[in-house]
Amino acid sequence: MAHQMKVNLNTMEARVIALLRRRYPITTDELRKELSVRRDTLDRVLKRLAAKGVLILEPLPDKTYVRLLLPGVEPAAEPSIERSDKDGDDDSIAYR
């Protein structure tokens, strides 16, 4: 039986986790293209998820792989849309 952990996730974090569940191995560049997001946006999301212990980045000389450490992770609550920045980036919509 898989261990499930509830974590506060925003929409972009949930999209990253869903893609990592379906596809491994995957590099940061492949992930960025698959999600159609800017590099800086994905970098912020990956750093937040790594800080939460959800994933790990595995750098190689020419690419970086992303590995999901907690495949059973799920949002801590139902989503409620809350925009906190002016540009409305997808990563500003948070599960609360």
Statement: residue 60 has pLDDT above 80: yes
Terminal Cα distance for the chain, rounded = 27
Q: What is the spatial distance between Cα 60 and Cα 57, in angstroms, rounded to a whole number?
A: 10
CATH fold of 7-70: Arc Repressor Mutant, subunit A (1.10.10)
Contact 61, 77 (CB under 8 A): no
- The ranges assigned to domains in the chain are 7-70
Predicted local distance difference test score (pLDDT) of residue 89: 52
Q: Which two tokens stand for residue 91?
A: 């990563």
pTM of the model: 0.72
Statement: residue 1 has pLDDT above 50: no
Q: Phi/psi at 42 (nearest 5 deg)?
A: -65, -40
Chain-centre distance for alpha carbon 96: 16
